[in-house]
Chains A and B, each alone.
Chain A
Amino acid sequence: EIVMTQSPATLSVSPGGKATLSCRASQSVISNLAWYQQKPGQAPRLLIFGASTRATGIPARFSGSGSGTEFTLTISSLQSEDFTVYYCQHYNNWPPLYTFGQGTKLEIK
């Protein structure tokens, strides 16, 4: 079973700044990695898939990188609506299995 570990649990950054969120897999997941944003009381929103491809309508200030076991979500020029919780997710093509990280809360410094 692949375990996804996100760090830090909470990240404090100033508006206008840059946030770097990390996600580590317990074994290689190649590039089968997605990032989601979830605001309080709302469903998750897909940001990134394939480790680095932005989903439709996602602003360019969101970028993903990495492969194998180490992944990063970078959010530049932070806006007020970006301060919320982010999850990484490994997806296995076959058999189809999905594992989420425990989440990183991005808060205003």
Chain B
Amino acid sequence: QVQLVESGGGVVQPGRSLRLSCAASGFTFSSYSMHWVRQAPGKGLEWVAIISFDGSYKYYADSVKGRFTISRDNSRNTLYLQMNSLRVEDTAVYYCARDLAVVIAIPAYWGQGTLVTVSS
């Protein structure tokens, strides 16, 4: 079955960087677009970024554009989110998610998330 396991979260000071990873298993990773979605404590969901199955296109929410970079290593079945110039408002649980189907680009299978806390 589809399994997604995020890692790399932690406490970081404003302005610093952090890289999140998402290890995928149970499906052909290289066939699916992947997403990052975040949720601030006690708040709703916010979509962050998407990367195509082969990494040829990437799109970002305006709130993270220019600071965050999504990438993937299909040989390692791993998705990444490089977060630079972190702000207090980036504090959230970060989820990775797989598309519903190869041709249906909706986040459907989710990991359990990793918490990022940006604080001085």
Could you list which residues of chain A lie within 8 angstroms of chain B, going by C-beta atoms?
34, 36, 38, 42-46, 49, 55, 87, 89, 91, 93, 95-103
When the two chains form their complex, are residues B104 and A87 in contact, meaning their CB atoms are under 8 A apart?
no
Residues on B with beta carbons closer than 8 Å to the beta carbon of A49:
100, 104, 106, 108
Q: Please name the 8 residue pairs, one residue from A and one from B, whose CB atoms are nearest each other, closest first.
A: A43-B110, A98-B47, A100-B45, A46-B108, A103-B44, A96-B50, A102-B44, A96-B59
Tell me which of B57, B61, B107, B111 has the highest count of chain A C-beta atoms within 10 A of its own C-beta.
Answer: B107
Given A46-B100, A97-B59: A55 and B108 within 8 A (CB)?
Answer: yes
| Interface residue SS majority, chain A | strand
Interface residues of B in 64-120 (CB under 8 A from A): 95, 100, 104-108, 110-113
Interface status of B46 (Cβ within 8 A of chain A): yes
Residues on A with beta carbons closer than 8 Å to the beta carbon of B61:
97
Extra 13 A-B pairs, beta carbons < 8 Å, given A42-B112, A97-B47, A100-B44: A49-B104, A49-B108, A55-B108, A89-B45, A89-B47, A93-B105, A96-B57, A96-B59, A96-B105, A97-B59, A98-B37, A100-B46, A103-B45
CB-CB nearest in chain A for B110: A43
- Total interface residues in chain B, CB < 8 Å: 22
Interface residues of B in 21-78 (CB under 8 A from A): 33, 35, 37, 44-47, 50, 57, 59, 61
Contact of B47 among A38, A42, A43, A100 (CB under 8 A): A100
Number of A-B contacts (CB under 8 A): 56
Tell me which of A38, A42, A91, A101 has the highest count of chain B C-beta atoms within 10 A of its own C-beta.
Answer: A91
CB-CB nearest in chain B for A98: B47
When the two chains form their complex, are residues A36 and B45 in contact, meaning their CB atoms are under 8 A apart?
yes
When the two chains form their complex, are residues B95 and A43 in contact, meaning their CB atoms are under 8 A apart?
yes
How far apart are A85's CB and chain B's nearest CB, in angstroms?
Answer: 8
Residues on A with beta carbons closer than 8 Å to the beta carbon of B104:
49
Given A43-B95, A43-B113: A91 and B105 within 8 A (CB)?
Answer: yes
Residues on A with beta carbons closer than 8 Å to the beta carbon of B100:
46, 49, 55
Residues on A with beta carbons closer than 8 Å to the beta carbon of B44:
87, 100-103
